[in-house]
Amino acid sequence: MSNAPDASVVLELLQAFRRSKAMFTAVQLGIFDQLAAASQSAQQLAAILKLNEGALKRLLDGCVSLTLLEREGELYRNSPTAACFLVSDSPATLAGYVRYSDQSLYKLWDGLADAVREGTNRWAATFGGRASLFDHYFRDESATRSFLTGMHGFGQTTSNLIVRAFDLSHFKHLVDLGGATGHLAMAACVAYPDLQATVLDLPPVEKFALEHITQSPVAHRVSFAGADFFADEIPAADLYCLGRILHDWDDPKINILLTKIFAKLPTGGGLLITETLLNEDRSGPLYSLMQDLNMLVCTDGKERTESEYSALLKTAGFATVKFHRTGGLVDAILAIKGESSSWLKPK
């Protein structure tokens, strides 16, 4: 039929999960890590990794087609992209986030239909009684490390954009609530030489956070505090940060946290928020809408529009709320206690 719609969108989506799972599996099996040292043949890799040679070659060739590997004769090597983002000990690695996606998100998304029917996340149904992502990922040291490594890799791709979205040079002490490995706090201290920062997260996170913080050139200006930001007192600061935190919760729980932060801030103090913003008419962006579905299967939260965040922040008492679309995977929001000051402007 000459007037039939183009099927390419449907065909592309039919293939999408296969491509993701090929990359997930190559990371899981240690292929990129093994090839980090030198090019190797399928036979060599199969012997070292204890894999079926014929099946492995099929996966390797698939990864070549995905531009994750390169092949010369019988030898395979990492592409520059894989060497940077899929080797576990690369400074910019996303391997932890890939593992998190494979071991958790891939399974949770299988329950999307039930999530839509019931309006509830899929953690308990998928992982045998653990009711939340956080229960699951803080269940033991290995799980905590895997989760935090994933969040660190993702955070490194966005933190520099966020801390430069607004001029934050007016502030003196940043407390990053739920700051994990400290990627945003460190980026902020690099950008603003007079800034001191505290990473606040649950006590089991400290060991892993310090592994990253102590290697930073701004380590002398970044400290760690172990606490639950909902249950415990939070340190005094003139700037707080919530990086991909609010999308985990429903409005009543968010109001508790925002009200607590507002009460702690001095007049003129600020709250820097990192989230992906939906268009007001929910027409996009595509990433944000897919992330909204991700929050449906993962948490009790959701992604929100500018007006929804503005309403939450003003209900908590913030008089001034500014938004900055970064063009990346997350955007920046800056809320001020009190009237807007002359120094407050998007960069």
Q: What is the pLDDT of residue 136?
A: 64
What the block records as the tokens of 314 is 């003003």
Cα→Cα distances 86→73, 79, 195, 218, 317, Å:
23, 10, 33, 26, 43
Bridge partners, 346 (sequence order): 166
CB 264 within 8 A of CB 71: no
Q: What is the pLDDT of residue 154?
A: 75
Give the 3-state secondary structure of residue 335.
strand
The rounded mean pLDDT for the chain is: 92
Q: Considering Cα of 57, then 58, then 60, then 65, what sign does the dihedral take?
A: positive
Cα(158)–Cα(186) distance, integer angstroms: 12
**Structural domains in the chain?**
8-85 (1.10.10.10), 153-336 (3.40.50.150)
Q: What angle do CA 37, 42, 48 make, to 5 degrees?
A: 60
**Does the N-terminal peptide bond of residue 80 adopt cis geometry, omega within 30 degrees of 0?**
no
Give the Cβ contact number of residue 180 at 10 Å. Answer: 25
Cα→Cα distances 284→221, 292, 298, 302, 345, Å:
39, 11, 20, 14, 25
- Helix axes of 251-264 and 306-316: crossing angle, nearest 10 degrees: 50
Q: What is the pLDDT of residues 219-270, one digit of tens each?
A: 999 999 999 999 999 999 999 999 999 999 999 999 999 999 999 999 999 9
Lowest mean pLDDT among 69-78, 147-156, 225-234: 147-156
Answer whether residue 31 shows pLDDT above 90: yes
Per DSSP, 5 falls in state P
Phi and psi at residue 207, to the nearest 5°:
-55, -45
Which residues have a catalytic role annotated? 247
Q: pLDDT-derived band of residue 138, with 50, 70 and 90 as boundaries? A: low
Q: What is the pLDDT of residue 3?
A: 81
Burial readout 125-142 (b: 16 or more C-beta within 10 A, e: otherwise):
bbbeeeebbeebbbeeee
- In this prediction, residues 200-206 reach a mean pLDDT of 92
| Nearest alpha carbon to residue 192 among 154, 162, 157, 226 | 162
**Count, residues in the chain:** 347
Per DSSP, 242 falls in state E
Amino acid at 169: S
What the block records as the tokens of 176 is 């990053």
Contacts of 344 (CB under 8 A, 6+ apart): 166, 167, 170, 320, 322, 334, 336
| Nearest alpha carbon to residue 276 among 258, 293, 253 | 293
Give the Cβ contact number of residue 52 at 10 Å. Answer: 10
Answer whether residue 70 shows pLDDT above 70: yes
Q: What is the pLDDT of residue 133?
A: 63
Q: pLDDT-derived band of residue 157, with 50, 70 and 90 as boundaries? A: confident
Cα(98)–Cα(86) distance, integer angstroms: 8
Bridge partners, 239 (sequence order): 174, 270
Cα(312)–Cα(116) distance, integer angstroms: 25
Phi and psi at residue 264, to the nearest 5°:
-80, -25
Largest separation between any pair of C-alpha atoms in the chain: 68
What the block records as the tokens of 232 is 């415990």
